[in-house]
Structure 1
Amino acid sequence: MGFFLETLFGGLMAGMLYSLIALGFVLIYKASGVFNFAQGSMVLFAALVMARFAEWIPQWLGFDSLFLANLLAFMVAMLAMVIVAWLIERLALRGLVNQEGITLLMATLGIGYFLDGSGQLLFGSGTYKIDIGMPKEPLIVLENMFEGGLLLNLEDLIAALISAVLVVLLTIFFQKTRTGRALRAVADDHQAAQSIGIPLNRIWVVVWAIGGIVALVAGMIWGSKLGVQYSISLVALKAFPVVILGGLTSVPGAILGGLLIGVGEKLSEIYLGPFVGGGIETWFAYVLALAILLFRPQGLFGDKIIDRV
Structure 2
Amino acid sequence: MGFFLETLLGGLMAGMLYSLIALGFVLIFKASGVFNFAQGAMVLFAALAMARFAEWIPKGLGIESKLVGNVLAFVAAMAVMVVVAWLVEKLVLGKLVNQEGITLLMATLGITYFLEGFGQTLFGSDIYKIDVGMPKDPIFLFENVFQGGVLVNKEDVYAALIAAALVALLSLFFQKTATGRALRAVADDHQAAQSIGIPLNRIWVIVWSVAGFVALVAGIIWGSKLGVQFSLSLVALKALPVVILGGLTSVPGAIIGGLIIGVGEKLSEVYLGPMLGGGIEIWFAYVLALLFLLVRPQGLFGEKIIDRV
User: TM-score range, shorter-chain basis?
Assistant: over 0.9
1:187 counterpart residue number? 187
Runs of 4+ in 1 over 3 A off after TM superposition: none
Q: Can you list the C-alpha shifts for 1:26-53, whole angstroms capped at 9, x where unaligned?
A: 1000110111111111001101111001
Q: Can you list the C-alpha shifts for 1:33-78, whole angstroms capped at 9, x where unaligned?
A: 1111111110011011110010011111112111111100000111
Q: How does 1:285-304 map to 2 (within 5 A)?
A: 285-304=285-304
Q: Can you list the C-alpha shifts for 1:90-138, whole angstroms capped at 9, x where unaligned?
A: 0011111111111111111111111111111111000111000111110
Per-residue deviation at 1:199?
0.8
What value does the CA root-mean-square deviation take over the aligned residues?
A: 0.8
Question: Normalising to structure 1: TM-score of the pair?
Answer: 0.99
Per-residue deviation at 1:189?
2.4
2:281 counterpart residue number? 281
For 2:106 and 2:236, locate their aligned partners in 1 and report how far apart those are by CA, in whole Å.
17
Question: Runs of 5+ in structure 1 lacking a partner?
Answer: none
1:307 counterpart residue number? 307
Per-residue deviation at 1:300?
0.8
Q: Can you list the C-alpha shifts for 1:218-246, whole angstroms capped at 9, x where unaligned?
A: 00000000111111011122111111000
For 1:293 and 1:77, locate their aligned partners in 2 and report how far apart those are by CA, in whole Å.
36
1:85 counterpart residue number? 85
Per-residue deviation at 1:188?
2.4
Question: Runs of 5+ in structure 2 lacking a partner?
Answer: none
Counterpart secondary structure, 1:230:
coil
Amino acid at match of 1:233: S
Counterpart secondary structure, 1:159:
helix
Q: How many residues align?
A: 309
For 1:55 and 1:212, locate their aligned partners in 2 and report how far apart those are by CA, in whole Å.
21
1:263 counterpart residue number? 263
Q: How does 1:1-309 map to 2 (within 5 A)?
A: 1-309=1-309
Amino acid at match of 2:40: G
Amino acid at match of 2:84: V
For 1:236 and 1:191, locate their aligned partners in 2 and report how far apart those are by CA, in whole Å.
32
Q: Could you tell me whether the CA contact under 8 Å between 2:12 and 2:259 is conserved in 1?
A: yes
Counterpart secondary structure, 1:169:
helix
Amino acid at match of 2:94: R
For 2:254 and 2:193, locate their aligned partners in 1 and report how far apart those are by CA, in whole Å.
25
Per-residue deviation at 1:176?
2.0
Counterpart secondary structure, 1:130:
coil
Amino acid at match of 1:281: E
Question: Normalising to structure 2: TM-score of the pair?
Answer: 0.99
Q: Can you list the C-alpha shifts for 1:133-156, whole angstroms capped at 9, x where unaligned?
A: 111110101111000111111111
Amino acid at match of 2:176: K
For 1:33 and 1:175, locate their aligned partners in 2 and report how far apart those are by CA, in whole Å.
18
Percentage of identical aligned residues: 78
